[in-house]
Structure 1
Amino acid sequence: MNKGAGEALQSQSSGSNTNQAGQEEVSNPSESAAFINAIQEKTHYPADLVVRIVTEKISILYFENLIESNFLNEFILKYLQETNHNEPESISGNLSIPGVELATDINKTVNSMLNGVVCIHLNGHSQIVLAKIPARESRGLSAPENESQVIGSQVGFNENLSTNISLIRRYIVNPNLSNEKFRLGKQTNTSVSLLYIDGIAADEHVNTVRQRLSNLSIADLIDSASLVELIEDSSLSLFPQMLLTERPDRFCDGLLSGKVGIVVDGSSMAILAPISFIEFFQSKEDSNLRWPVATFVRLLRFAAIFISIYFTPLYVASLTFHYEVIPQPLLVPLSESRAIVPFPPILEAIFLELIIELLREAGARLPTKVGQTIGIVGGIVLGTAAVQAGITSNILIIIIALCALSSFTTPNYMMGNVIRVIRFPIIICAGFWGYYGIMFTLCILLVHLLRQTSLGGPYLAPFYPARLKDWPDSIVRLPMPFISRQSINSRLITNKKKKK
């Protein structure tokens, strides 16, 4: 661990009268009855708190759902029933399990019990033996749900922090892989791991993330998506500045390119930063395909993004203000299709876009089999009924369906949601000001992206600032020998250091 990490951990543990959670230290009662009563009061007399009197002098306390019962019976109870040791130090030194320590603070004792620790109390001693045997119940490893791919690894993260760390270490068998642990949330006390490869990740990025995690004061933390909003550069922006991924191969690929990773206990999504705007539209499968195929897929993906955002606004602007740009052969079918539609194009487009969003949201919230049926049948029925009722035109149905289909090509779910949202203000501006409104929103969008940063690095890299060396793995994917391994933002920081 480097000097910055040592200073951060030292600042967290400083102070003789308070523990790491900021609570005042209170010594454990030496009498067994008083100790048991104090633990019960601290935990508000929970039903799952187990108190067992092993011998006349030894008693143990634990939460029955948080510890491994087989380890308890085989390595702790059996030893305590047969031992003649009457000192906490001797018991802790002879227990044949790795995670054993002594504690005198009752707050630390309670917090440890909530993390899968068996508390061993000897009557007449304020020192407590803490034996860590947490239960390892978790969801089994399965294929990623939101980042599926045909070629490549089919294993995704689950909600267990230890399992996720072991997956990462299987991909990166490197002693330079650093893992710093934090506890966040005054109520939840959630474990968070900061991972990076020492010597590859930029010190500025590591120190920035470490400082933001250390200074974070929140009541609870349940998921990594909430943590991203708390530590990213601009939480008011619609665009995410950190990447959420459920793929360990993509996460490790980011660490190897100089990024900093965060894994949250209880969440199946890991965080990568810094990230550029272009990386949200790249898939890990691109590196597994031949470079001409991967380049074609990426170009197709970016074309689909343009279609998803601008086709509907172009339709609205053309029919409202700019009939002259429509080719003559297409103008007649458009006029016939809209002859019975009583609404202006802007209302017609927003109405259909809202229907598509309702169908998408309903399909996502319903069970899988029912959701697929609702999406297909609902789209066909509502589309046909809307055309027959004269509410919308056939051509707009095709355009809306094409835009919805194109939006699904975005590999990242968070960025896909952004594309869904920004279509609506662009449609409204196109309905009021035509092509001028579209260009106005495009300029506003571009200025906003130019102002965004990710851990202080440029969001639109490698195009702004322009770096030709990084273009081979941006919109196109050239052969591997032409691609630099180090991430764009880390390389920019390295170049600044050399200039200084």
Structure 2
Amino acid sequence: MRRNRNRKTNTDSIFPLKIDELKKIIKDKFEKNPDLTFNTYEQNNKKIAVFFISYQTDPDKVENFLLEPLLKIDKEWTGPTIKNEIPLSPAATANKLEDILRNLIIGEAFVYVEDEDAAISYALIHKEKRQVSKPENETVVLGPQIAFTESLITNLNVVRWSLRSTDLVLEKILIGKRAPREVRLIYMKSIANETHVNTMRQRLQDLDVDEIEDSNVLSQYIEDSSSTIFPQFYTTELPDRFCYTVGKGRIGVLVENSPTGILAPSTLFSFLESTEDLYMRWNMGSFLRILRFVAMFISVILTPLYVAAVTYHYELIPPRELITLGQSRAVVPFPPIIEALILEFLIELLREAGARLPTKVGQTIGIVGGVIIGQAVVQAGLTSSILIIVIAMSALASFTAPSYLMGTTIRVIRFPMIFLAGMFGLIGIIYGICFLIIHLLKIKSLGEPYLAPVYPFRWADLNKALYRAPYAYQYKRFLSFRPKDLLRFKKREAIKKHDIDE
């Protein structure tokens, strides 16, 4: 008996076992779990066990495709015989307890013949999944109107339909010690930078955690720096954006039970791009992209500039507006910095309340609450009407960011900028902008500069980041990320105009 135990320990196998011994081991691991089904059958003094978790497996498949064919087998029950007689594939074998427990949890059914060296498993998984629907957080007017769901199989199906290439790689990685979750590393083999692929794969494989709740949580585990407020990986719920980015040579990651995908490496300019820029004509797409850059700058600088001008730099205000501003602020008891912080805090409360309440109620709270409270605050003399306009413009500008994470980052940055403006005036604003620029220069995404292609400067990539050139001139991929294949097509052929008689 001691030799047998040593042999099992060395191979990590729990078999061979008697059915009663296996039942005790499985029942002990799933203590107080009434949904564990463990059935025993006997034929010609040969025992067999069928065990699974009822709500994780499809009951019709278990009954019709596993149990019914199994009990009709006339030959002696053995592992090879069962595999040949039961019309289910693929049939896998498992002899390690941890593998059996993990596969039971995800919905596989096991068959074990007494005293054999392994159990046979069948993937009869029952999954509750949401149907493909319109995106909620990244709404678009032009382009495909579908979003990722919580089902990894559905998401992979959508990606495969969009990228119909044998060059597409879908690597499977399991993350989590106590609650393993399937993660897929997705990239184009002949385009993606090998260093990026290896770096992302290494970060995923080295992740030693109990569980991964969502792709947004995973991106925080594997990002380059956890101390910065700026997101370093773009997370999207749009399959067309995901596939477009992967098709251009970047890395994508999908997580089971998460409706968003991760894209890496990402730059600051990635968070201000929208898929609508691709579907519009190049001049309109460029205008909207530049508009978002201007809006981001306005959102960060407008309210601090008001505070600095009213507190220290009256010479910046036109004389006619100075009289109106003085009359508006004559009854306000607070200094400009306190006045601005109160209103910014009020706007954030309204935004958060609108996001947490049901959709129809949330929209009502945002509109009615903003109008009524804003008017009441002005009439009560707690703030000036001009500051209400400034705060509203800053809030609107922050909502133009296609990425919810970047929009939230911009809104948070306004608070320290207002404080610096109130304490030091324009010098404080300049200090704040310099600090932001230095900080952005230090950030990396999967080892790549966050401000590429502005730093390090690369002229050829500006038409993919700052504006959108006509498609005939986008014959090169994003050179800053060093893809394997730099050319998408030949420029000379793309700009030719062929008539039907040529």
TM-score w.r.t. length of structure 1: 0.92
Which stretch shifts more, 57-66 or 422-431? Answer: 57-66
Question: 1:367 aligns to what?
Answer: 358
Equivalent residue in structure 2 for 1:324, among 310, 315, 321: 315
The answer to whether residue 166 in structure 2 is matched with residue 167 in structure 1 is: no
Cα displacement string for residues 221-269 of structure 1 (whole angstroms, at most 9, x for unaligned residues): 1111111111111111111111101111111111111101111101111
Residues 1:144 and 2:131 aligned together: no
Aligned partners of 1:17 and 1:427: how far apart in 2? 67
What amino acid is the match of 2:168?
A: L
Partner residue of 2:490?
Answer: none
1:101 and 2:92 correspond:
yes
**Structure 2 gaps, min length 5:** 1-6, 487-502
Which residue in 1 is equivalent to 2:500? none
Amino acid at match of 2:452: A
| One of 177, 181, 184 as aligned partner of 2:172 | 181
Q: Is 1:304–2:291 an aligned residue pair?
A: no
Q: CA deviation at 1:323?
A: 0.1
Q: Report the secondary structure of 2:482's partner residue.
A: helix
Task: Kindly report which structure 2 residues correspond to 1:175-324, keeping only aligned pairs within 5 A, or say none.
Answer: 175-324=166-315
- 5+ residue gaps, structure 1, are 1-15, 496-500
Write the letter of the residue equivalent to 1:213: L
In structure 2, give the amino acid aligned to 1:212: R
Question: Are positions 1:34 and 2:34 aligned together?
Answer: no
Q: Which residue does 2:450 correspond to in 1?
A: 459
SS across alignment from 1:439: helix
Structure 1 residue identity aligned to 2:128: E
1:483 matched to 2:474: yes
Distance 2:110 2:70 in 1: 12
- Contact 1:31 1:125 survives alignment (8 Å): no
The AA in structure 2 aligned to 1:37 is K
Aligned residues with identical type, % of pairs: 42
Q: Give the Cα–Cα distance (whole angstroms) in 1 for the partners of residues 476 and 23 of structure 2.
A: 57
Q: What is the identity, as a one-letter code, of the residue corresponding to 1:370?
A: V
Structure 1 residues 203 and 80, CA gap change in structure 2 (3 angstroms): same
Distance apart, 1:18 and its partner CA: 8.8
SS at match of 2:463: coil
> Who is 1:66 aligned against?
56
Superposed CA deviations along residues 136-170 of structure 1, whole A, max 9, x for unmatched, are: 32111111111110110011111111111111100
Deviations, residues 66-120 of structure 1 (Å, cap 9, x unaligned): 1122221221111111013410122123322223111222221111111211011
- Of 42, 47, 51, 2:38 maps to 51
Indicate the SS of the match to 1:377.
Answer: helix
1:481 is aligned with what amino acid? A
Higher deviation after alignment, 72-81 or 94-103: 94-103
**Structure 2 CA distance, aligned partners of 1:379 and 1:184?**
44
Secondary structure of 1:478's match? coil
> How far did 1:429 drift?
0.2
Between the aligned partners of 1:415 and 1:344, the Cα distance in structure 2 is 30
Question: Contact 2:300–2:414 (CA<8 Å) still a contact in 1?
Answer: yes
CA deviation after TM superposition for structure 1 residue 408, in Å = 0.7
Rounded Cα–Cα distance in structure 2 between residues aligned with 1:116 and 1:348:
58
Map of 1:134 onto structure 2 = 125
Paired residue secondary structure (2:122): strand
Q: Classify the secondary structure of the residue corresponding to 1:462.
A: coil
Q: Does 1:83 align with 2:70?
A: no
Tell me by how many angstroms 1:126 deviates: 4.1
1:352 aligns with 343
Q: Deviations over 1:28-65 (max 9, x none)?
A: 45211221111111122312111223445222111111
Q: Does the 8 Å CA contact 1:462/1:471 hold for their aligned counterparts? A: yes
Q: CA deviation at 1:350?
A: 0.2
RMSD value, Cα: 1.8
CA gap of 1:451–1:484, structure 2 versus 1, over 3 A, is farther
Give the whole-Å Cα distance in 2 for the aligned partners of 1:176 and 1:336. Answer: 68
Task: Note if contact 2:308-2:421 (Cα within 8 Å) is conserved in structure 1.
Answer: yes
* Structure 1: distance between partners of 2:473 and 2:197: 28
Take 2:83 and 2:213, find their aligned partners in 1: how far apart are those partners?
A: 33
Greater shift in the superposed pair: 164-173 or 115-124:
115-124
Inter-CA distance 94–493: structure 2 relative to 1 (3 Å threshold):
same
CA contact (8 A) 1:25 1:107 kept: no
Please say if residues 477 and 483 of structure 2, whose CA atoms lie closer than 8 Å, have aligned partners that are also in contact: no
User: TM-score, length-normalised on structure 2?
Assistant: 0.92
Q: Which segments of structure 1 move beyond 6 Å, counting only runs of 4 or more?
A: 16-19, 492-495
1:118-129 alignment to 2 at 5 Å? 118-129=109-120
Amino acid at match of 2:274: S
By how many angstroms is 1:488 displaced? 4.1
CA distance in 2 between counterparts of 1:17 and 1:313 reads 69
